[in-house]
Amino acid sequence: MSVEKTLSIIKPDAVKRDLTGKIIAMFEEKGLRVVAQKKILLSKEQAGSFYAVHRDRPFFDELCEFMSSGPIVVQVLQGSNAIDLNRQIMGATNPEQAETGTIRREFALSMTENSAHGSDSAETARDEINFFFSGLEVLQF
Ligand code: ATP
Ligand code: MG
């Protein structure tokens, strides 16, 4: 399988509860390496622009409020099959449906406050990495 990069976000509910280190350890244990990372606070508008595909969904306003409610950790993860692997490690969107041992099963508070985001395709990964990072900020090797 090919080495890929994917965009990961540790969401405000998890950063607030100091779960950043535990979540990074879960990625590293499964072979995903952090090749870029920063802690930032989004405005509601910036959150809306990141989640623009969900603009017309009923949960959009709540999602943007939440994503701008506190600091997030945005990171680029690299590894074999990184895009799918990251989503497996996160688990299902709804924590009640997420498998035991996944980030969302262990840590999520609700469907909205679900602790992590991961890109869902190669195209989205490229766009989402470019949304948060310049080329110089991402380790290339
Ligand atoms: P993400 O894009 O954050 O990795 P995902 O791909 O599993 O999550 P999406 O369908 O893209 O899920 O939804 C984006 C985010 O919007 C979810 O992670 C969750 O925080 C929120 N969300 C999705 N569906 C709902 C819902 N029905 N009610 C409340 N919030 C929701
Ligand atoms: Mg998604």
Give 53-92 pLDDT, tens digit per residue: 999 999 999 999 999 999 999 999 999 999 999 999 999 9
Contact at 8 Å (CB) between 124 and 131? no
Radius of gyration of the chain (CA): 14
| Ligand 1 center from residue 8 Cα (angstroms) | 14
How many angstroms separate the alpha carbon of residue 116 from the centre of ligand 2? 10
Mean model confidence pLDDT for the chain: 97
Q: How confident is the model at residue 141 (pLDDT cuts 50, 70, 90)?
A: confident
pLDDT at 1 over 80: no
Q: Is the pLDDT of residue 100 over 80?
A: yes
CA-CA-CA-CA torsion sign (95, 97, 100, 103): negative
Q: Which residues surround ligand 1 with Cβ inside 6 Å?
A: 54, 59, 63, 93, 111-112, 114, 117-118, 120
Select from 40, 32, 31, 33 the least CA-distant residue to 9: 40
Residue 118 alpha carbon, nearest atom of ligand 1: 4
Q: Enter the pTM of the model.
A: 0.97
**Nearest ligand, measured from the Cα of 92:** 1
